[in-house]
Amino acid sequence: MMPATQKSLAEESAAITSHWERSWQAPAQMWDNGLPPPALIKVVNEGRVPTGRVLVPGCGGGYDLPVLASPSRFALGLDVSSIAVNKAHETLRTNNVPEDQAAVIKADFFTFTNADLPPQLVQQTVPAPNPKAAPQFDAMFDYTFLCSFPPAWRRRWATRTAELIKPGGILITLMCPLAVYRGGPPYALSVKIYRALMRDDFEELEMNECESLPGNIGVEMLALWRRKEAGATSA
């Protein structure tokens, strides 16, 4: 029998998956901008995103993937919605992104393992990864992903993020929505919340105002965090 706490998490996860699948079935998705955020384009063009493997959880339509994908960087999009995953696949095809530079999988951010990775990414990994272990990434881009979870899940998000990013790797958070209101999703966030979540496992590199798409002006900031080396502690 599954322990009560584990069962509760599984039930909550299933409910969240169901919510987003239904949301993508709606006639319109207000969160779907149809293009990548200017702030991401800027950090990529400035060379501040590491080469290697970068994860985009909650990738939705996958608009960020062509921006991140390059001959030296594999961009992996992840979403729980099959509709979103299909849309992201179409985005990659439309932008002629090579299969050895990007892919999309339908998986749960909190539980996916190396066994869920696309073949082309597994083939690039030497030595062959343990299929039951959590994948390792050089970078991760979070935009409107953390805000999709209720506040009780935030610490779990931070723990899992630290597990997935290699020591020395970079977490890019386009923090949104920075606002004060009740309810969600999206659930309101703040700089204070991010810093509290990151303090144990990440070093804050920078946090700045950024160019935003219409509708998000004034409610988002860009922050870069470095995953601490093993054994490092917060001051």
Check residue 140 and give its pLDDT. Answer: 99
The least confident of 7-11, 73-77, 195-199, 203-207 is 7-11
pLDDT band at 14 (very low <50, low <70, confident <90, very high): confident
> Count of CB atoms within 10 A of residue 107's CB?
19
> Average pLDDT, stretch 27-56?
90
Report which of residues 176 and 30 the model is more confident about: 176
202 is a domain residue: yes
pLDDT of the residue at 2: 45
**106 CA to centre of own chain:** 13
- Read off the pLDDT band of 1 (50, 70, 90): very low
Q: Regarding predicted confidence, which is higher, 28 or 100?
A: 100
Distance CA 60, CA 18 (A): 15
What pLDDT does 128 receive? 82
6 domain-assigned = no
- Tally the domains of the chain: 1
Confidence grade of residue 73 (pLDDT, cut at 50, 70, 90):
very high
Q: Is residue 69 part of a domain?
A: yes
Note whether residue 89 is domain-resident.
yes
* pLDDT at position 4 over 50: no
Residue 234 located in a structural domain: no
Q: For residue 82, what are the CA distances in angstroms to 23, 60, 62, 188? A: 12, 10, 12, 26
18: in domain = no
Please check the confidence at residue 229 and state whether its pLDDT lies above 70: yes
pLDDT recorded at residue 214: 84
pLDDT of residue 173: 99
Residue 3 belongs to some domain of the structure: no
Domain housing 113? 38-227
**Residue among 51, 58, 59, 56 at smallest CA distance from 124:** 51
The reply to whether 78 falls in a domain is yes
Q: And the tokens for 47?
A: 């060379």
**Least confident segment among 22-31, 71-80, 131-140:** 22-31
Residue 123 and residue 151 in contact, taking contact as beta carbons nearer than 8 Å: no
In the prediction, which pLDDT does 22 show?
75
Please, which pLDDT band fits residue 167 given cuts at 50, 70 and 90? Answer: very high
List phi, psi (to 5°) of 169.
-75, 170
pLDDT in tens, 184-214: 889 999 999 999 999 999 999 999 999 988 8
Query: Where does the pLDDT of residue 27 fall: very low under 50, low under 70, confident under 90, or very high at 90 and above?
Result: low
Mean of the per-residue pLDDT values for the chain? 91
In which region does residue 94 sit, left (phi positive, over 0), alpha (psi from -120 to 50) or beta (all else)?
alpha
CATH code assigned at 116 = 3.40.50.150
Q: How confident is the model over 103-156, as pLDDT tens digits? A: 999 999 999 999 999 999 988 887 888 999 999 999 999 999 999 999 999 999
